[in-house]
Structures are given as C-alpha cells and as structure tokens.
Amino acid sequence: MSVVDNIVSIRLDDANDALVLLDQTLLPNETKYIVLKSAEQIFEAISLLRVRGAPAIGITAAYGVYLCTKHVQTDSYEEFAAEFKKVKDYLASSRPTAVNLFWALNRMEEKLESVKDLPIAEIKTILRDEAQAIRDEDEAMCREIGENALSLLKPGMGLLTHCNAGTIATARYGTAQAPFHLGQERGYNFKAYVDETRPLLQGSRLTAWELQASGVDVTLVCDNMVSQLMRNGWIDACLVGCDRVAANGDTANKIGTATLSIVAKHYGIPVYVCGPTTTIDMDCPTGDDIEIELRKESEISELWYEKRMAPEGIKAYNPAFDVTPNELITAIVTDRGIVYPPFDVNLAKIMKDVK
C-alpha cells in the first residue's frame, strides 16, 4: 500500500470540533498529527508551514472557517455573517501567494450569502458540506491532473521535480507528484530526481519521503546540481507544481522553479506545470502582479542547522516563491486538460465556465 492510500494529511473531526493535520514540519523523522480547534491555531499552522501546498492550504482554510463559526450563538444572519467575515479575513492574512487560500475562503463566503434566508443551524450544515466538497473535488482534480500528465510521459523516463506537490500537499495524489504515484501503480518505472528545494528542504524532507514510500526509484540531489543531471542526459521532463498561475501563464511556485526552468530551456527539456484550475487566477494579468511572500531570514542561516551557518548580523533575502515566465513553460497540466501556448488565449478558454 502506497503513501497515497495510508496518509490523510487533512481531516475534519466534526464531532470534536477539530481539524486534524499532518505536521509537515516534522517529516521525514516523525509522522505526527496535530489537533487544531481555534482560528489562531489554524493561522499558525498555515503560516509556519505545518500545512503547505496550495490545495491543502485551501482545504484547511475552508474547514477552518466552518469550524470557527460553528458555535456562533445567534439567530441573526447579519451577526453570523459578521463573525464569519472576521474569521475569513484573519485566515486570509496567513499567507499571501497561494491563490487557493483566497479562492476557498471566497467560495465559502459565496455559499454563505447564497443561503442567507435559511435558519442559522441549517446554514452551518451547508457550510460544513461545502468545505467537504472543496476537499473531495480537490482529490478528483488531482487524479485528473495525474492522468493528463501521464499522457505526456513514457515508461522509464527520468523526471525531475522541485519542492513538494504531492499527496501531503493536496487532498490526495498530489499535482506534480500525481503522475509518479499513478505511474508506479501501472509499472511505468519512472526514475525520479528530487532536488532538496532550499531553504526549507521540501524536496528532501517531503517529496523524497513520499515517493520512496510509494516504491518509486528516487535519487536526491542538491538544487544546484540540476544542470549536470540534464547534461548527463538523465532528465526527460520536469514536473513542478504551482501556487498561482497568472492569466498569461506566468507561474508562481516555490523559489528555485524559475532557475530550474531556465536551465531546462537551455537543454531543450520540457517543463510541465501541474495544478488544478483553482490555482489559475484570471484576475491576475501577469506574474508581475503576484505578491511574493518574504519569510524569516533565519530559515537560511540557522533553522536547519545545529550551529549557525552564516555570520551573526548578516542580512538575508528569503523569498518563498519566484515567477517562471510563460515562455519557459511547455504546458500547464490541469484537471480540465493540457493547456499549451499561447497561454493567454488557451487559459481563458479552459477557465471560461469555471466558477
């Protein structure tokens, strides 16, 4: 049984008014689930990357806004909606770049507004069901992304991936890791190359752990080794996730994705961005309009080391994401199909009837 079958990274424990999350900061050394019951705890889990991955963040926020308004005592829709908005706005401020966070919270608010004439008790049940639907739809979307990505790949290929866009970053299967899991089930025997993804090491801590647990042939490398891998002829395609896709196809993903894509372009290796349609932001014209989250300097200098690996007082620049220009992307693989250039035209087509 693979990790896809036995790891549930996000679970609503409605009977105990709790959200149960796999704490990804402890992997691969410890598999621990944490129980969250307050908006502050959920905010902290998102902010400190206990839960990470754009789809998983969205699911967490949807469950969270339901749980944190579940026990609001009022018969007034206006009072309930005001409390809902407080929680929604608070959770929305936890991280700025992943569009799924805002998409999920906005969808929950739109559902609330659509049932404003119903009794509050019934509204709460509808909100719970909507949060569950967001989670279930994500699993189905990830499965479709995996199937669509597999159509671009051949058995035995060498595949390079960056960061973690796997089952622990989604409801199930993952986005960029979905074809690895599905391919393993079907005997594709891919050779996976996973870069560490510095400075938070999501590649070595999470993706390497996840793919190894599924029986995939995995080789771990440092981020700065990708050019040599490609020069060796070991890489046939690069598969990466996305936290936000602009209307023109520019894509924000974990820092280092743009570098990988530039090198891949040099060697003529395709770069496939894998993500659900929920990460496509048609209200964001280009990558220049994407806010890039800056994180603590300590993540570079000391967080992962027993002793500091930089001088005291040194300045550090620590963006969590970078933007890959659309001209470096071969195709964007979604749950609704594969999108090729020109991305501004074809993304608009695929998103025409997406709510």
Catalytic annotation, residues: 243
- Say how far apart CA 230 and CA 36 lie, in whole Å: 43
Give the full edge-to-edge strand order of the sheet including 251-254.
280-281, 244-246, 251-254, 321-324
What's the helix, strand, coil split of the chain in %, to 5? 45, 15, 40
Q: What is the bridge-based pairing of β-strands 271-274 and 237-240? A: parallel
DSSP class of residue 16?
Answer: G
- Would you call 303 helix, strand, or coil by DSSP? coil
Distances (CA, A) of 114 to 71, 96, 190: 20, 27, 46
29: tokens are 């050394």
Residue type (1 letter), 18? A
Residue type (1 letter), 50? R
